A and B are shown apart, each in its own frame.
Chain A
């Protein structure tokens, strides 16, 4: 067994004096889709921000490809290949669609590669190509989510962190976006770390899953097993 691509080793993260994560352990292997489910305020987004260096953990370690990145600045972590599609999408509202995508490739210097990747994103999301000169803030919610994913892909990530991509979207659009997430994982081999409240959907596309409650990981198993688990069914699947 090779060593994992990304590993959280019992991290504790705080906002000021308030502790949000308690000894969180998560392992992400190359090529996997990992899902992290939990209720609102459980600490899912904090987990992603801890990985990205926006809110670095106070204790514990984040290890990526064998390197400790716990205290590494956010921009270096992006350059190493960890990209996040944050909760709420955080599109740059005044930049056009193509400028938003361009910002995703901010740290890259290979102009030709960036142009090719932009074409690839447009193939993946044809609606973005139609709207390439339109300001990001004028897109619909689903289009903004596609733009946010496209922008993250522009950095050629090894790991793509997705925070609640289904939030506020119509079921049809959610399905479309989840199909594309699967496609990105399968065709490009990009490892995916998916955080979701929509547990049913997330556990269906994921390989392995974690359940988080009040900043603590309470379960970790293969997604099929979690889907069949009685307590998960009751708490998250509404069955």
Chain B
């Protein structure tokens, strides 16, 4: 199968539907399973940024999807330059990832300093509006600075020979996405649990005033949270762009909305919740697309959200609103 032929895919969302064969076979099921896992991984990577920022300053950072989009564009530019210079594929992938991470982190840091920090003590609606403004600004900035067209994104993940028997249901780039996400989630969990900055982040999320009183530099912790969230989004942006093969300025918006849904699903403010929410949403979409119709992909995704909000408003792993971790 190689690169998925999504030209026939009618589904909306950032990853157009690709599943059109052999309904009922095990291969088909596995293909949906891995497809959902791939989407879910990307949602999880983006959702982590939403949930960490929300956990620390109770802000929905609507510009987060744009940070992810900027990561993908940075990857595209770096890959274009290195490709012309004749770098090997895996080398390009790693350099593109590194540059995207750094550049997106710089954007995340700057957005926080410009758009949110001056509003730290303002009513809660103000930073929210500022976030929506930042989102529109960044989209239009990329639109003007780049183009409104879809740009082809080179495939950066090589096909290994050992992948041959698996190819009927999973691709190398899917495995790359799933594997990197797993690695990132483990690293993030250890970071939050054991490092000094991770402890400061947890303390700040639980009680900002008390964190100040034990000597945590709260402003630095907030900046670090934006930097880490942006870096994770950039990893997702580059990997998915290489997987689906094209990007445009709008490509962060829908992914951002879906990832936000995943964060709420898992329990906003909860790091494991964002991971779980991403996976559940990815699988829901994949199986809905595969067994019902790709037209219903978003219907199922948001119906799931509505159900969760009715029966468990704090999300699957969320704490009740008086306590967040």
Residues of chain A having any CB pair with chain B under 8 Å = 52, 54, 73-75, 78-79, 83-84, 86, 90-95, 99, 102-104, 106-107, 137, 151, 155
Contacts and interface: CB of A to CB of B under 8 A. Distances in A.
20 contacts: A54-B213, A73-B217, A74-B212, A74-B213, A74-B215, A83-B213, A83-B214, A86-B209, A90-B207, A91-B207, A92-B207, A92-B210, A94-B202, A94-B319, A94-B323, A99-B199, A102-B199, A106-B199, A106-B216, A155-B214
B130 interface: no
B142 interface: no
A137 B52 CA distance: 21
Nearest to B217: A75
Contacts of B199: 99, 102-103, 106
Contacts of A90: 207, 209-210, 213
Interface in B200-214: 200, 202-203, 206-207, 209-214
Contacts of A137: 323
A93 B211 CA distance: 12
Contacts of B215: 74-75, 78-79, 106-107, 155
How would you classify the secondary structure of chain B's contact residues: helix, strand, loop or mixed? helix
B269 to A, nearest CB: 10
A75 B209 CA distance: 11
Contacts of B216: 75, 106
Pairs A-B, 4 closest by C-beta atoms: A78-B215, A90-B210, A94-B325, A107-B215
A107 B200 CA distance: 11
Interface in B215-259: 215-217
A73 B207 CA distance: 18
A99 B213 CA distance: 16
A79 B199 CA distance: 18
Interface string B63-74: 000000000000
Given A83-B214, A93-B206, 20 more contacts: A52-B213, A73-B217, A75-B215, A75-B216, A75-B217, A78-B215, A79-B215, A84-B213, A86-B209, A91-B207, A92-B203, A92-B207, A94-B202, A94-B319, A95-B203, A102-B199, A106-B200, A106-B215, A107-B214, A137-B323
Contacts of B325: 94
